Amino acid sequence: MGGAAVAVLAAATARRKSGPFVSLFSRAARRLHDAAETAAAEEDKARTRSRRRRRSCSSLLLGPDFPDTWDPSSRDTTPEAPPRCAQADYDCTATIIDGKSIAEDIKLHIAEEVCQMKRSVGHVPGLAVVLVGDRRDSESYVRYKLPGNCSEDEVMDSVSRFNEDPSVHGILVHLPLPEFLDEERILSTISLERRMWMACIELLLRSGIELMGKHVAVIGRSKVVGLPTSLLLQRHHATVSVIHAFTTNPDFITRESDIVISAAGVANLVRGSWLKQGAVVIDVGTNPIEDPTSDYGYRLTGDVCFGEAVNVASAITPVPGGVGPVTIAMLLGNTLDSAKRVYGLSD
């Protein structure tokens, strides 16, 4: 339309004729030209706004790519903040959920089934563990490891070999991996049926703790613990709040919760003041703290300030001796289940 208006205006001007008709025609052509230019400009602006909206929409859907890094020091500077967590000299009122005892029961049942499998098919389950670098918390579970400076391809080759090994029925890659390794790429190498978790739910169920209708706060949203645990809790019809490093007033949310599961990886993050009276506390944290009196030069502590929480909670897992032993037992149990499927022994 704009091009036609320019052509009409040019033709009218080129004739150089006077008179009211030519003048009127010229003015009409100019108005047509101006209108066309205005419409074209508005159309360009609309396209620009549309492009901007599309870009903004995509960005909003994906969310900002911020690292989910906890900064407990910033939460401990208010005047109302309690003193540093004491780990001794407490009066225990909560029931201690004995992970070691629960793990022993699980492993006893597993041992019986493994013996039965050996008699039936002449094979036993195989579990492969991949540990990269020097991680004190992981070393409390296993000692077999790859050097910390190994390449990503070396880790993936190790996992691939385990995937192809018919004697291996479960694979565990200890996380987090060193920052220079692509965690997603390595984990995607593991066959889906060989991924293992669920220790938190097992602890709660074996302790006779009701989940249906309960409000559960899950602190931490990792793909290893926080995310799968929150999804499993919903399968058990719990109402779940997921707390992460960017959550405002996390203490308020946990104080409203019947059950608190912490897997943030920050020593003593959860204080007694964070808990509702009578809450159940599952502490997944395994954080090495320097301790010259220890044989290893460090000791392990959880995400929860045990000395404070034990006087508020109705039941709590200690660290160590809580979730850790049950995690190992569940790994063995899931490996057994995988082997049973391979050898045609599934129920």
The yes or no reply on domain 122-192 and CATH 3.40.50.10860 is: yes
- The confidence band for 14, taking pLDDT boundaries of 50, 70 and 90, is very low
pLDDT of 308 reads: 95
pTM of the model: 0.72
Cis peptide before 147 (omega within 30 of 0): no
pLDDT of 63 reads: 65
Q: Where do the structural domains in the chain lie, given as residue ranges? A: 122-192, 195-327
48-62, 162-176, 205-219 — which one is most confidently predicted on average? 205-219
* Residues 56-79 pLDDT 10s: 455 566 667 677 777 766 555 343
* Residues 103-136 pLDDT 10s: 999 999 999 999 999 999 999 999 888 888 765 5
Question: CB of 124 within 8 A of CB of 339?
Answer: yes
Interatomic CA distance for residues 149 and 178, integer angstroms: 9
The chain-wide mean pLDDT, for the chain, equals 79
* Residues 275-309 pLDDT 10s: 999 999 999 998 988 888 888 888 889 999 999 99
> Do 195-327 and 122-192 fall under one CATH topology?
yes
Q: What is the mean pLDDT of residues 83-102?
A: 76
| Fold (topology level) of 195-327 | Rossmann fold (3.40.50)
Nearest to 136 by CA among 251, 326, 267, 300: 300
Measured in degrees and rounded to the nearest 5, phi and psi for residue 110 equal -65, -45
